[in-house]
Amino acid sequence: MPEGPELHLASCYINTVCAGLIFSGKVEKSEVSKNPEVPFESDAYVISAVSRGKEVKLTLMPLKGQSQNGPQQPMDVVFRFGMSGSFKFTPEAELPKHAHLRFYTKESPRRALCFVDFRRFGRWEVDGTWQLDRGPCVMLEYEKFRENVLKNLSDKAFNKPICEALLNQKFFNGIGNYLRAEILYRLKIPPFEKARTVLEALQHPKQSPGLTLSKKVKLKRENPDLLELCHVVPMEVVRMGGKGYGPEHSDDSAAFEAWLQCYYVPGMRSLRDGNGRTIWFQGEPGPMAPKGEKSRKKSSRKGQITNRVKLCLEQHKLSDRKKEASEEVTKPAAKRRPKSSSCQEKGVTRSGRKKGKELVPGAEHGKAAEAREPSTRPRRKAAASQEPPAREAPAAAAKRRVPARRSAGTAAAATRSRRVKAE
DNA sequence: CGTCCACGTCTAC
DNA sequence: TAGACCTGGACGG
């Protein structure tokens, strides 16, 4: 769920499903969550939500005249979704797995508004306020957002490549990994061009004397600049409705995937940025691109999928980094993960990667020795322009991985039905 | 079964 | 600038 559009759609979802509903009692937190208990209790209260960038604020409002034992004051709880947070409203008998915070209705078979977050990177704050160092919302406070960027271009945040600056929530509250790729792709801005260089050009927009006002307006609308796209692109996702980028398979998620033009799209290139995050793009990486990095272009998608069902099934498919084309096969690669420990619920030793830098240990020989291969998502329209160098190794290496989702109908149904138990 | 990857922050060295 | 923090799907062996 987690970029600006998903948070905003979550707030809309909450307001829709909770409209006219009365909640009652205490707020329950799962045992496993390390987030704070929410000390709110009321015989009758209503819930509403608002979003700002990558945060959602829930307001719990007691109904007047319902407080016999000490008037409970209204309470705000601010949520950040981490990598997997979302809200879901379900019957109490069908609580989703990983429902870490639950608000119950006053009706008889109760229902519950749940904050669901399987990875538990999400956070909430009791009596919370918008995080202080996050900037204006790119979707709902566009003018303030734009001014906050253009008036602070001397900030060192803009010394970074534009693709990294776009993830800085102090200036781009709401932009995340798929949005930065989609936004830069629309203008074909090299992701590793210096942010300040790209943004300074927007301070003094070139005039077009001679044009009528309406012509100028039209021109502007048809040629949005980078900051306008930081508003428009996420708004496109909001207007699609549904849940945006989420794990549930549905017509909505299929529409979302069809909407993506760059992120995880076959034919696009990808690199790890300075923070180890994958940036998807087309064309040149730009002057500040990490050197000796592994680029991975994709490979052409071979078997085109023609079957509709397959398209739905398809989804993502990631690919694998190391490519066998180079003879890299033998090297295990030196990255290893520090397995910390922890995990009371089971002894898990998880992993996670970090920087893509040394992916291919010895391989620095010139060209990109590897090929990752992205995925296969809905078919893009005829991929007309490919990039220059698709000249990867022969067709070799092209394995795709398919992240999540399974069949549309069945998956959704299956997911819905099971999931009764909570942690 | 082990490795890699994922829509994001946080905080310690 | 690294880890930490988590679960789980897709792959490879």
H-only helix segments in A295-406: 308-314
The catalytically annotated residue of A119, A144, A310, A337 is A337
A225/A338 Cα distance (integer angstroms): 42
Does A337 participate in catalysis according to the annotation? yes
Element at A80 (helix H, strand E) = strand A75-80
Using one digit for the tens of pLDDT, what is the confidence trace for A355-376?
A: 333 333 222 322 333 333 333 3
Q: Which residues touch strand C (CB under 7 A)?
A: A 32, 34, 83, 97-98, 118-121, 274, 276, 317, 320, 338, 340-343, 345-346, 348, 350-352, 354-355, 357, 399-406
Chain A window 83-122, residues with Cβ within 7 A of nucleic strand B: 83, 119, 121
A105/A92 Cα distance (integer angstroms): 9
Q: Based on the fold, state whether residues A275 and A149 are members of the same structural domain.
A: no
Looking at residue A1, its pLDDT comes to 65
Does A54 participate in catalysis according to the annotation? yes
The total of other beta-carbon atoms located within 10 Å of residue A187's CB is: 12
By three-state DSSP, how is residue A279 classified? strand
Q: Confirm if A124 and A27 have CB atoms less than 8 A apart.
A: no
Task: Write down which residue in A240, A267, A289 finishes a domain.
Answer: A240
Range scoring the smallest mean pLDDT among A22-31, A76-85, A187-196, A249-258: A249-258
Q: Based on the fold, state whether residues A272 and A404 are members of the same structural domain.
A: yes
Q: Based on the fold, state whether residues A124 and A139 are members of the same structural domain.
A: no
Residue nearest to nucleotide C4 (CA to C1'): A340
- Beta strand extents in A163-286 (DSSP E only): 269-272, 278-281
Mean pLDDT of A325-337: 29
Distance A308 CA to B9 C1' (A): 38
Smallest CA–C1' separation from A53, nucleotide: B8
Task: Write down which residue in A132, A166, A199 finishes a domain.
Answer: A132
A220: domain CATH number? Answer: 1.10.8.50
Q: Based on the fold, state whether residues A75 and A185 are members of the same structural domain.
A: no
Place of tokens 């428009």: A232
- Beta strand extents in A218-304 (DSSP E only): 269-272, 278-281
Chain A window 177-216, residues with Cβ within 7 A of nucleic strand B: 177-178
A8: domain CATH number? Answer: 3.20.190.10
A31 phi and psi angles, rounded to 5 deg: -65, -40
Q: What angle do CA A415, A418, A422 make, to 5 degrees?
A: 105
Question: What residues pair up with A103 in beta bridges, in sequence order?
Answer: A27, A113
Residue nearest to nucleotide C12 (CA to C1'): A320
A192/A160 Cα distance (integer angstroms): 8
A304/A383 Cα distance (integer angstroms): 12
Residue nearest to nucleotide B6 (CA to C1'): A83
Does A3 participate in catalysis according to the annotation? yes
Mean pLDDT of A100-113: 98
Residue A218, in any domain of the structure: yes
Smallest CA–C1' separation from A82, nucleotide: B8
The catalytically annotated residue of A52, A54, A196, A297 is A54
Q: Based on the fold, state whether residues A19 and A99 are members of the same structural domain.
A: yes
Residue A308 CA from chain centroid, whole number: 26
The answer to whether strand B lies under 7 Å from the CB of residue A314 is: no
A133 phi and psi angles, rounded to 5 deg: -95, 20
Residue A341, in any domain of the structure: no
Residue A43, in any domain of the structure: yes
The b/e string for A223-256 (b: 16+ C-beta within 10 A; e otherwise) is: ebebbbbbbbbbbebbebebbbbbebbbebbbeb
Q: Based on the fold, state whether residues A116 and A74 are members of the same structural domain.
A: yes
Tokens of A127: 């009596």
Using one digit for the tens of pLDDT, what is the confidence trace for A169-188?
A: 999 999 999 999 999 999 99
By three-state DSSP, how is residue A381 classified? coil
Q: Confirm if A275 and A281 have CB atoms less than 8 A apart.
A: no
Does A2 participate in catalysis according to the annotation? yes
Q: Is pLDDT of A347 > 90?
A: no
Q: Based on the fold, state whether residues A413 and A280 are members of the same structural domain.
A: yes
Q: Based on the fold, state whether residues A220 and A293 are members of the same structural domain.
A: no
Residue A352, in any domain of the structure: no
Mean pLDDT of A257-280: 97
Q: Based on the fold, state whether residues A78 and A49 are members of the same structural domain.
A: yes
Indicate the burial class of A401 (C-beta count within 10 angstroms; 0-12, 13-18, 19 or more). middle
Using one digit for the tens of pLDDT, what is the confidence trace for A287-325?
A: 999 976 443 333 222 222 222 222 222 223 333 332 322
Residue A340, in any domain of the structure: no
A288/A160 Cα distance (integer angstroms): 8
Looking at residue A214, its pLDDT comes to 86
- Residue A292's domain comprises 250-329+358-423
Residues of chain A with pLDDT > 90, as a percent, come to 61
Residue A350, in any domain of the structure: no
Residue A369, in any domain of the structure: yes
Task: Write down which residue in A132, A152, A172 finishes a domain.
Answer: A132
Looking at residue A247, its pLDDT comes to 83
Q: Based on the fold, state whether residues A381 and A258 are members of the same structural domain.
A: yes
A267/A281 Cα distance (integer angstroms): 9
A381/A311 Cα distance (integer angstroms): 13
Q: Which nucleotides of B are covered by protein (CB under 7 A)?
A: 3-10
The answer to whether strand B lies under 7 Å from the CB of residue A25 is: no
The answer to whether strand B lies under 7 Å from the CB of residue A256 is: no
Residue A303, in any domain of the structure: yes
A56/A38 Cα distance (integer angstroms): 16
Torsion (CA) A257, A263, A266, A270 in degrees, nearest 10 = -160
**Average per-residue pLDDT in chain A?**
75
Q: Based on the fold, state whether residues A282 and A188 are members of the same structural domain.
A: no
Looking at residue A381, its pLDDT comes to 30
- The total number of structural domains that make up chain A: 3
Q: Based on the fold, state whether residues A122 and A175 are members of the same structural domain.
A: no
